[in-house]
């Protein structure tokens, strides 16, 4: 069987991870990278891999089976997503939770108008943990679940700190509160806000002569981002930040406590934990597994937008039905 020809649009952290990830998917061949920058400014990790400008996309439809959209959710995908869905089967990791219904509708319309199949909001959350919420709620209707994020870097919060006067650079970690995790694990029926569940740890590099106390106060007072949270601020040197906080680790934890039995006397605890050394690598791996599924669904004549909740799990695997029956069940 011929390989699934994939291309990567956007060569930031996620795009770079996707390029390397493709080496682990033997049924896929990397066909191209697309970028909004000058293609000559991009040096792919893969020798000989062609780099095109995004404006050339329409001329590439014959050489690409699935386009992996690796650009940002905030500004890029709402525009690029539907445009690409008119040209290619696509997979993306759109992750602005509140706007997913709107983005789904735009992608669905674009995909159907062009006969394309478009998987959106794939990754670990939204994506894999969404799938776990669905499974645990479908199986255990009487119950309650919580999702915890971290310990991991939040790019948005790090950016917010960098905008404060006197700050050279910063890195913010979101950290689950141990007492909240423990309460859920023990099945306590407690209402928990996002701030009850998480605290925030900031590593900040100051400009020379900047007022540390004033910066710390400005961070802790920032509405939405920090004001509602228990926030710790550490001042470090730029060298220390680069040495100890350059990685992009993250973690996710979904726990559902269900109750079953005539008097709901039985507690059933369903937990899923992801401990990721590299957030972009893991997300890229999810996107590639979904690209395989997209290729298969498209091959059946399906079109329009899909999420991971719509994908028959077997379509994500390279194994045949017979192999799945004998080796995985």
Q: Judging by beta carbons within 10 Å of its beta carbon (0-12, 13-18, 19+), is residue 70 exposed, middle or buried?
A: buried
Under 8 Å between Cβ of 295 and 66:
yes
Shortest Å distance, C-beta 258 to a copy of itself: 8
Question: Is 210 or 269 the residue whose CB approaches a copy of itself more closely?
Answer: 269
29 touching a copy of itself, by CB under 8 A:
no
- Report the SS3 class of residue 301: coil
Under 8 Å between Cβ of 255 and 267:
no
Shortest Å distance, C-beta 272 to a copy of itself: 5
72 touching a copy of itself, by CB under 8 A:
no
13 touching a copy of itself, by CB under 8 A:
no
63 touching a copy of itself, by CB under 8 A:
no
One symbol per residue from 191 to 230: x for binding a copy of itself (CB under 8 A), - otherwise; what is it?
Answer: ----------------------------------------
Shortest Å distance, C-beta 167 to a copy of itself: 29
> Considering only residues 142, 214, 221, 227, which one is a binding residue for a copy of itself as defined by CB under 8 A?
142
* CA quadruple 202, 206, 210, 214: dihedral, nearest 10: 0
45 touching a copy of itself, by CB under 8 A:
yes
- Report the SS3 class of residue 73: coil
Where do we find the tokens 């080496």?
23
Residues 104-133 that bind a copy of itself (CB under 8 A): 104, 121, 126, 128, 130-133
> Considering only residues 8, 68, 70, 286, which one is a binding residue for a copy of itself as defined by CB under 8 A?
286
> How many Cβ atoms from other residues are within 10 Å of residue 34's Cβ?
29
295 touching a copy of itself, by CB under 8 A:
no
Cα–Cα dist 151/131, whole Å? 21
> How many Cβ atoms from other residues are within 10 Å of residue 144's Cβ?
18
Cα–Cα dist 306/121, whole Å? 9
Question: Is 1 or 138 the residue whose CB approaches a copy of itself more closely?
Answer: 138
> Considering only residues 1, 2, 24, 62, which one is a binding residue for a copy of itself as defined by CB under 8 A?
24
What secondary structure does DSSP assign to 116-161, as a single string?
-EEE-S-SBTTBHHHHHHHHHHHH--SEEEEEEE-SEE-HHHHHHH
The two tokens of residue 40 are 């000559």
25 touching a copy of itself, by CB under 8 A:
yes
Shortest Å distance, C-beta 190 to a copy of itself: 19
CA distances from 159 to 3, 97, 164, 231 (A): 40, 19, 9, 16
Cα–Cα dist 297/316, whole Å? 10
The DSSP symbol for 59 reads G
Tell me which stretch binds a copy of itself (CB under 8 A): 48-56, 84-92, 96-104, 161-169: 96-104
2 touching a copy of itself, by CB under 8 A:
no
Shortest Å distance, C-beta 305 to a copy of itself: 10
Cα–Cα dist 149/274, whole Å? 10
Which residues sit at the interface with a copy of itself, rule CB under 8 A?
17, 20-21, 24-25, 45, 97, 100-101, 104, 121, 126, 128, 130-135, 137-142, 258, 260-262, 265-278, 281-282, 284-286, 289, 292, 307-314, 316-318, 322, 324-326, 328-329
């Amino acid at each position: 069987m011929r390989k699934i020809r994939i291309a990567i649009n956007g060569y930031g952290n996620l795009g770079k991870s996707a390029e390397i990830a493709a080496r682990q998917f033997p049924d896929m061949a990397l066909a191209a990278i697309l970028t909004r920058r000058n293609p000559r400014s991009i040096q792919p990790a893969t020798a000989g891999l062609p780099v095109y400008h995004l404006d050339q996309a329409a001329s590439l439809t014959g050489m690409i089976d699935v386009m992996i959209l690796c650009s940002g959710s905030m500004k890029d995908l709402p525009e690029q997503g539907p445009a690409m869905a008119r040209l290619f089967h696509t997979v993306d990791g759109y992750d602005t939770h509140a706007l997913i219904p709107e983005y789904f509708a735009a992608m669905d319309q674009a995909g159907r108008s062009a006969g394309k199949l478009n998987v959106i909001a794939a990754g670990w959350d939204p994506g894999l943990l969404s799938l776990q919420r669905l499974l645990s709620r479908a199986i255990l209707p009487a119950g309650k679940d919580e999702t915890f994020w971290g310990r991991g870097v939040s790019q948005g919060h790090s950016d917010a700190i960098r905008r404060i006067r006197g700050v050279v650079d910063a890195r913010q970690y979101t950290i689950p509160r141990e007492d909240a995790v423990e309460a859920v694990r023990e099945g306590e029926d407690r209402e928990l806000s996002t701030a009850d569940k998480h605290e925030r740890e900031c590593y900040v590099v100051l400009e020379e002569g900047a007022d540390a106390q004033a910066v710390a106060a400005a961070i802790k007072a920032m509405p939405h981002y920090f004001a509602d949270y228990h926030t710790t601020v550490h001042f470090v040197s730029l060298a220390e930040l680069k040495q100890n906080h350059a990685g992009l680790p993250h973690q996710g934890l979904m726990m559902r406590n269900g109750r079953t039995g005539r008097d709901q006397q039985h507690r059933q605890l369903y937990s899923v934990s992801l401990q990721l050394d590299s957030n972009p690598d893991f997300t890229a791996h999810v996107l590639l597994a979904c690209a395989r599924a997209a290729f298969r669904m498209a091959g059946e004549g399906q079109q329009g937008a899909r999420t991971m909740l719509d994908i028959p799990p077997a379509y994500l695997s390279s194994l045949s039905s017979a192999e799945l029956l004998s080796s995985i069940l």
